[in-house]
Amino acid sequence: MRQIQLQKPGIENLVLAEVEQPEPGPGEVLVKVHAASINYRDFLIAMGFYGGPGLTLPLVPLSDGAGEVIETGNGVTQVQAGDRVTSLFWQDWQDGVATPTNRSISTGCEAPGMLTEYAVMPESAVARVPDSLSYDEAATLPCAGLTAWSSLTTHARVKAGETVLLMGTGGVSLFGLQFAKALGATTIITSSSDEKLERARELGADHVINYKETPEWGAKAFELASGGVDVVIEIGGAGTLQQSLAAVGLSGRIAYVGTLTGMNTDLNLLELLGKNLQIHGLTVGNHADHEKMVGFIDEHGLSPVIDARSELEQGAETIAKIAAGQHFGKLVVTLAE
């Protein structure tokens, strides 16, 4: 079988390899992977910026994929051959809060990933796919989808009538837009592209801000929300957090999920006190929340937004592409029909 392997740090060291098809051991399942999707973390891992010195190489990248269970090992009870499943980002985090034990092994980093024609995974590391989603669509859920869902529901507890601010038009933000609208919230989204903002309007965005034309977009969002937004999904980090602080109103909540513009910044602590703010860092979510998200998607007929599809041979190129930030939604690698 074929798979992409990261042999050492650097995009140029992602190679297409031929290996033996694996067999599932006790408690494991063998999945024929139909599709996998790219997240920014995958680029950071490939470049050697994420995972630390303990990363075992060669590594099969990508946390997110979907496929069909074709064989199960002894003791597997929750899935069976023929089930359509996705991977889970955290392989052992089934429910409750994160702990050093349950949040230690992630797919595509500490454990082999999904950019492979066949993947062996623990039974605990897969979840069923609803009939309403294709494999390509389901492959976008484990990281980007669940990050947006956890931000809005588990942590921010968004209610109908509140206002949510979203940054850019990548996977997390577009999932956030779709979820927020289905939850009854008003949405504001930012981008440097008027074309992308128009597409976001078509998806249901109530307000849009071109942040190049409006550098103080936090103040603009505060104004559009008539006294500040209630929730921000903060994906930028150092370069955007000050604007997020300006955007939120009294008792606002910031779900901090990314560092696209840097990791270190000065923080005005008086602003946190004065606005009674909550800033909550989170890394994706657990299996129970994944199941709730999938049920919500099924109930509301939501369709993940896919920008482009590529083949396995273009896996390295597709991982590199995400760093350019030109996509609208998710980048998917299709491995099988």
pLDDT digits over 92-146, tens only? 999 999 999 999 999 999 999 999 999 999 999 999 998 899 999 999 999 999 9
Question: What is the spatial distance between Cα 112 and Cα 109, in angstroms, rounded to a whole number?
Answer: 7
pLDDT tens digits along 214-242:
999 999 999 999 999 999 999 987 788 99
pLDDT at 212: 95
Query: How far is Cα 242 from Cα 96, in angstroms, rounded to an integer?
Result: 31
What tokens appear for 173 in the block?
A: 């933000």
pLDDT of residue 269: 73
pTM: 0.95
Q: Going from the N-terminus, what domains does the chain have, and what CATH number goes with each?
A: 2-140+304-334 (3.90.180.10), 145-281 (3.40.50.720)
Q: Is residue 262 very low, low, confident or very high in pLDDT (cuts 50, 70, 90)?
A: low
Given a contact cutoff of 8 angstroms between Cβ atoms, the answer to whether 166 and 201 are in contact is no
In angstroms, the Cα distances linking 328 to 4, 193, 213, 225, 322 are: 24, 11, 20, 25, 10
Report strand pairing: 2-6 vs 207-210.
Answer: unpaired
| Integer Cα distance of 54 and 49 in angstroms | 12
What does the pLDDT look like over 60-74, one tens digit per residue?
999 999 999 999 999
**CA-to-CA distance for 217 and 283, rounded, in angstroms?**
26
Residue 55 DSSP SS3: coil
Total Cβ atoms within 10 A of residue 196: 21
Asked if residue 228 lies in contact with residue 222, where contact means CB atoms within 8 angstroms, the answer is yes
Task: Say whether the peptide bond before residue 304 is cis (omega within 30 degrees of 0).
Answer: no
Structural contact between residues 117 and 36, judged by C-beta atoms closer than 8 angstroms: no
Average pLDDT in the 302-326 region?
Answer: 94
Distance CA 123, CA 271 (A): 45
Tell me how far apart the alpha carbons of residues 230 and 165 are, in angstroms, rounded to a whole number.
Answer: 8
Nearest residue to 171 (alpha-carbon basis) of 285, 329, 331, 332: 329
CB 112 within 8 A of CB 74: no
Of the chain, the end-to-end C-alpha distance in Å amounts to: 16
**pLDDT tens track for 180-219:** 999 999 999 999 999 999 999 999 999 999 999 999 999 9
Tokens 């002894």, located at residue: 74
Cβ neighbors of 300 (< 8 A, separation 6 or more) are 182
Query: How many CB atoms sit inside 10 A of residue 337's CB?
Result: 5
